[in-house]
Amino acid sequence: MLPFYLALKEMLRNKRRFAVIFLIVAMITLLVLFTAALGDGLALGASEYFDRMGSDLIVFQEDVDYQLLASRLARTRLNQLRRIPGIEAVGPIGVSSTTITAINNEASENIDVALIGVEPSQPGAPNVYAGEALGDSRAAEVVLDRHVIARLNIPIGAMITIKVVQGMEEQFYDLRVIGYAEGRKINYVPSIFVPLKRWERIRPQENPGIDDGDLIFNVAAVQLDQTSPTAVVAAEIERSVSQVDVTDPVTAYTSTQGYNDMISTISMQQGFMLLIVVLIVGSFFQIQTLQKVAQIGMLEAIGASSRLVIMTLLIQVMITMVLGLLIGGSIVWLMAQVLPASVPIVFSGSKISITIVALFASGPIASLVSARTILKIEPLRALGLGG
């Protein structure tokens, strides 16, 4: 109890000084937690669609480095894929972009979305949590992901108008909302889903109205029957189907342009912030220790051990970190309540917990220099009585 009493007594005596360090730790906590949430949000924006695609493998056009929009496949590839042993289902997926301009014929906030064409009930088609799934392969129906709902709050049954460029002109198409799906961002933008044949008709294109007899889409989502190893089926696809590359969903999004650079940059920023915590907290308590060398010497002269003084220091450090983390964490929580849905932040419980533990651990690490200084103090010399 004595170390705790001494720690609190000193902190109350130097309220302003310790208030400053509380606020510094709180601000760094705010930056670290916000950066962690931003990193998770950006990573989710790149991985969300692939993670929820419902496929074991994805087939791309050869030599496009797994870039979704650059890949082009023809319907003839589907029949070849379906004949390969171990494959249970294959779903073609077409990806383009569009803009939602109106809801029920009334102008709304214009938001850019990914327009995704899928075959109903096949891999790549979204599972809905409200409303109905896509059914008719030609119907002018659409399923919205939750990011679109968060931005525009469109009810099921509403009619949305989308704008695309076909040839040299802007074209507008009406689609009836029949369901909601979980978030499935592609390249950090929300998604809407339509039947593939409808997508082929309304997608942006250079020569609208020209039918070349073959449906072109971007990738094929492959679902296995779980009896064959994934690697074996992937190798067989590349052997049997010409001019394709096959990969798993994780490799597909980690190969997204800039993904790894983004993750490493954010991780580096977090590392530097943790280092800043160590330096600031360590410097503060080192100065504190040097300013009270005589007091420490007197305590040790009357029988206090270096261990007691170091425990007092550690209690002050832990109180500083706990209060700073509480203040910073509270500010982050308040920000999360008011930030618009368009800001790509995701507060992951596990990631936030790891970040808080790392920040808290940086405090005791920062106190090591001060503890070493305390161990070197000689009572008589500290009181000016030594030779």
Domain boundary assignment for the chain:
2-47+259-382, 57-247
Query: Is the separation of the CB atoms in 161 and 172 below 8 Å?
Result: yes
Q: Tens digit of pLDDT per residue, the chain (387 long)?
A: 777 777 788 788 888 888 888 888 888 888 888 888 887 777 777 788 888 888 899 999 998 888 888 899 988 888 899 889 999 999 999 999 999 999 998 888 899 999 999 999 899 999 999 999 998 888 899 999 999 998 888 999 999 999 998 878 889 999 999 999 998 888 888 999 999 999 998 998 877 665 555 778 999 999 998 888 889 999 999 998 889 999 999 888 887 767 777 778 877 887 887 788 888 888 887 777 777 666 666 666 666 677 777 888 888 888 888 888 898 888 888 887 787 766 777 777 677 788 888 888 888 887 777 777 776 666 555 555 555
Write down the pLDDT at residue 257: 65
Q: Which residues sit opposite 99 in a β-bridge?
A: 112, 163
Residues 205, 115: Cα–Cα separation, whole Å: 13
- Angstrom CA distances, 232 to 115, 235, 236, 246, 349, stand at 33, 5, 6, 11, 36
Of 224, 249, 193, the residue nearest 66 (C-alpha) = 249
**What pLDDT score does 383 carry?**
56
Looking at residue 192, its pLDDT comes to 95
CA 216, CA 61: separation in Å to the nearest integer? 11
Structure confidence at residue 117 (pLDDT): 94
Helix (H) or strand (E) holding 370: helix 368-376
- Beta-carbon contacts of 183 under 8 Å, excluding residues fewer than 6 positions away, are 44, 48, 145, 146, 147, 190
pLDDT at 213: 57
Residues forming a β-bridge with 128: 181
Q: How far is 382 from 170, CA to CA, in rounded Å?
A: 83
Give the strand pairing for 57-61 and 219-224.
Answer: antiparallel
Q: What is the DSSP string of 244-307?
A: EEEE-HHHHHHTSTTHHHHHHHHHHHHHHHHHHHHHHHHHHHHHHHHHTHHHHHHHHHTT--HH
Per-residue tokens: 157: 């049954």
Among 37, 21, 19, smallest CA distance to 286 is for 21
Residue 67 makes CB contacts below 8 A (sequence gap 6+) with 60, 255, 256, 257
Distance in angstroms (rounded) separating the CA atoms of residues 108 and 67: 31
Angle between helices 306-338 and 259-291 (to 10 degrees): 140
Q: Any idea what the Cα angle at residue 314 is, between residues 311 and 320, rounded to 5°?
A: 145
The sign one gets for the Cα dihedral 38, 43, 47, 51 is negative
Q: What is the pLDDT of residue 298?
A: 66
Predicted confidence at residue 296, as pLDDT, reads: 66
- Long-range pairs of 171-175 with CB within 8 A, sequence gap ≥ 24: 171/202, 171/208, 172/101, 173/140, 173/202, 174/140, 175/140, 175/141, 175/142
